[in-house]
Chain A
């Protein structure tokens, strides 16, 4: 995180004088042009991949979303009709409401877990810390699909360990993928998967804090708690905002875990469980690519809105910290 900021910062002063020189004389202008050309050449590979595999499909999907195709009708241009339909479609709204609730619960839980882990690991310097760091990070290294399959086994009420524990105590195993429990079970899976990754980001930021700051605080009589909450947390506020944005975007686009758990969730995970699963079902199962594109763009719009609001809200607080 810190390294990228410095890299961007170092770039800027170099670019500005270069632009200023273009007004001087023809030879310098030519040199600047050559320099710009070299710059373009460097980003060209990325730019091409970006254009071909991201911009072009996006434009095409948006184009698709402006048409309507019913099974019994031909394709018609409907302008924003699909978007009106999406924002009044109970399935889409229900999924949206689910992911919004999910964000509200999941993001704080993830933050607390990863922040706590990072603070503890930052405070202790034994060999155990290195081992613990790796262990907490490990779930992130497990592919999502495998992680979800694994949890599917752990949650199974018939042959999973939950069943074994429950039968040992003499009670019937709880249905962890039922309509009332699915929310908590998914929060658990996602936290398990991502907390380690966020922990590493926060931990890296903590390592970047100048130790003289701590020294000064200790001289002023700060104890370990004060050091953690008054010094460390504000110092890594930027990283916290970053991972919040990651978590926000990732969670609003929730897809993989519920999709993998769907066949074993006994009907709890419906084809409109989250907006992304709904878009997938609409496109590939119900054959409505146009409407699916509109759903995807509608979701993208909601994500953009949420992130924008969030960044706007945290910018002020960030300045307070700084």
Chain B
């Protein structure tokens, strides 16, 4: 009797397993092998040349459909099969799962520069300098190229950048008698106090959920949080999160927050945007992609039209300005790609044609890093609608991008950001001061790095 049971159960389980395994190639076809015709059914876009090998791409640029069509129409030898796997975090979670499972990743994936190292160390990305990436190096600023490189290795093609600047409300500035935008952080704090004393709104915002911005602001004062070179010494990392510069910047913002001179609201939330619309914040320290984001969120429309302007990021030392960056994205080739040379060709060419780039910057979808655009008179002299016709590119963003030197990111950005976010939240809650937060952060990150097997210096 027992035997029969066993046989029946075994047969049934076996049958189901066979069925499941039989299903998986069509059901779980999330990417993997490029060059197979099967993928044609999984694309969001239509393939123009059906016989050509395909390269699968995950990306979330809002105008990606146009970009992909531009590419496919111009290429007979290769076709892009594009899918939107989510914007930012959700896509990283999926890509991370595919990396861990060792299957299911696309050939080319869109990543933000600060997340590259995290995937490099998991051997998920291909060094595309082997496949001719250096040919396009001249198209980018030194900083933009450094952000996607590790030593001589190159892990992605830069597309979109985020040089920081200060967006401000001209109506608020006028009302409280601020004639010239603050050029230094000292002036910024003084203006904030002035507006507050006159019963005005918060001058800016210390959002806990934008740790990447805080890291950039610390670097602006001379902090060098991480020294890490994946291609040379993948196990060695230097961590300096509690140096004087980091402490100073955290203290500065902690102080503004404590005095109520800046808001304590998380950004990219409905509450924050409604505050921006209602003039609750006089300035918004943000990147070159912010105008596009704000426009999409409904800011600067109706009675608010043309009330925003932008100025260079305030400096610690006006005589030696430092340009920093927040966000921006790139296209990387994954190690799961079957034809890595072909995938590299797509990564380098996909968002690099004039039509796509022009569409990208005109719709404010991206702030292009490609120098062909940054140098074109049309881009430089463009009068930006959101800023009331200000030539924002010429005045602020192009100089900021060209002065950007690049950052070094740790191989555990997500963890670092989460801990920094905790500290920023604690600062806003008045539970810790900036210097204390820096010290706590240093201890936490060192502990984590050691637990992950790094030699911490």
Q: How far is the CA of A286 from the CA of B412 in the complex (A)?
A: 7
Q: How far is the CA of A47 from the CA of B118 in the complex (A)?
A: 41
CB-based contact B451/A70 at 8 Å: yes
Binding site for B on A (CB under 8 A): 33, 36-37, 40-41, 44, 47-48, 51-52, 70-73, 156-159, 178-179, 263-268, 270-271, 281, 284-287, 289
Q: Determine whether B453 belongs to the interface, using a CB cutoff of 8 Å to chain A.
A: yes
CB-based contact B412/A71 at 8 Å: yes
Q: Which residues of A contact B92 (CB under 8 A)?
A: 285
Q: How far is the CA of A73 from the CA of B422 in the complex (A)?
A: 27
Q: Which of A36, A41, A159 contacts B271 (CB 8 A)?
A: A159
Q: Which residues of B contact A178 (CB under 8 A)?
A: 429
CB-based contact A159/B270 at 8 Å: yes
**Could you jot down 24 A-B contacts, CB within 8 Å?**
A33-B1, A37-B8, A40-B5, A40-B8, A44-B9, A52-B20, A71-B121, A71-B411, A72-B234, A73-B452, A73-B453, A158-B270, A158-B271, A158-B274, A158-B275, A263-B209, A264-B266, A264-B271, A267-B209, A267-B424, A270-B421, A286-B415, A287-B96, A287-B122
CB closest residue in chain A, given B265: A266
Question: Chain B's nearest CB lies how many Å from the CB of A65?
Answer: 14
Q: Which of A36, A44, A51, A286 contacts B414 (CB 8 A)?
A: A286
CB-based contact A33/B4 at 8 Å: yes
Q: Which residues of A contact B5 (CB under 8 A)?
A: 36, 40
Q: Which residues of A contact B269 (CB under 8 A)?
A: 263-264
Q: Which of B8, B118, B235, B425 contacts A267 (CB 8 A)?
A: B425
- Cβ contacts B138-172/A at 8 Å (1 or 0 each): 00000000000000000000000000000000000
Binding site for A on B (CB under 8 A): 1, 4-5, 8-9, 12-13, 16-17, 20, 89, 92-93, 96-97, 99-100, 118, 121-122, 208-209, 234-235, 264-266, 268-271, 274-275, 411-412, 414-415, 418, 421-422, 424-425, 428-429, 451-454
Q: How far is the CA of A156 from the CA of B265 in the complex (A)?
A: 12
Q: Which of B13, B268, B429 contacts A48 (CB 8 A)?
A: B13
Question: Chain B's nearest CB lies how many Å from the CB of A3?
Answer: 29
A-B contact count (CB 8 A): 105
* Known A71-B452, A158-B274, A267-B425; contact A285-B13, beta-carbon cutoff 8 A: no
Q: How far is the CA of A74 from the CA of B208 in the complex (A)?
A: 34
Q: Which residues of B contact A37 (CB under 8 A)?
A: 4, 8
Q: How far is the CA of A79 from the CA of B96 in the complex (A)?
A: 25
CB-based contact B13/A51 at 8 Å: yes
Q: Which residues of A contact B429 (CB under 8 A)?
A: 178-179
* Known A159-B270, A270-B422; contact A72-B8, beta-carbon cutoff 8 A: no
Q: Which residues of B contact A72 (CB under 8 A)?
A: 121, 234-235, 411, 452-454
* Known A37-B4, A52-B20, A72-B453; contact A266-B266, beta-carbon cutoff 8 A: yes
CB closest residue in chain B, given A156: B271
Q: Which of A51, A156, A267 contacts B422 (CB 8 A)?
A: A267
Q: How far is the CA of A21 from the CA of B91 in the complex (A)?
A: 61
Q: Which residues of B contact A266 (CB under 8 A)?
A: 208-209, 264-266, 425, 428
Q: How far is the CA of A200 from the CA of B444 in the complex (A)?
A: 48
CB closest residue in chain A, given B93: A284
With A73-B453, A267-B425, A285-B96 known, 6 other A-B pairs at CB within 8 A are A48-B12, A71-B452, A157-B271, A179-B429, A284-B97, A285-B415
Q: Which residues of A contact B89 (CB under 8 A)?
A: 285
Q: Which residues of B contact A159 (CB under 8 A)?
A: 270-271, 274
Q: Which residues of A contact B17 (CB under 8 A)?
A: 52
Q: Which residues of B contact A289 (CB under 8 A)?
A: 100
Q: Which residues of A contact B264 (CB under 8 A)?
A: 266
CB closest residue in chain A, given B429: A179
Q: How far is the CA of A263 from the CA of B265 in the complex (A)?
A: 11
Question: Chain A's nearest CB lies how many Å from the CB of B229?
Answer: 13
Q: Which residues of A contact B414 (CB under 8 A)?
A: 285-286
Q: Which residues of B contact A285 (CB under 8 A)?
A: 89, 92-93, 96, 414-415, 418
Q: Which residues of A contact B122 (CB under 8 A)?
A: 71, 287
Q: How far is the CA of A157 from the CA of B13 in the complex (A)?
A: 54
Q: How far is the CA of A69 from the CA of B122 in the complex (A)?
A: 11
Q: Which residues of B contact A40 (CB under 8 A)?
A: 5, 8-9
Question: Chain B's nearest CB lies how many Å from the CB of A107?
Answer: 29
CB closest residue in chain B, given A34: B4
Q: Which residues of B contact A270 (CB under 8 A)?
A: 418, 421-422, 425
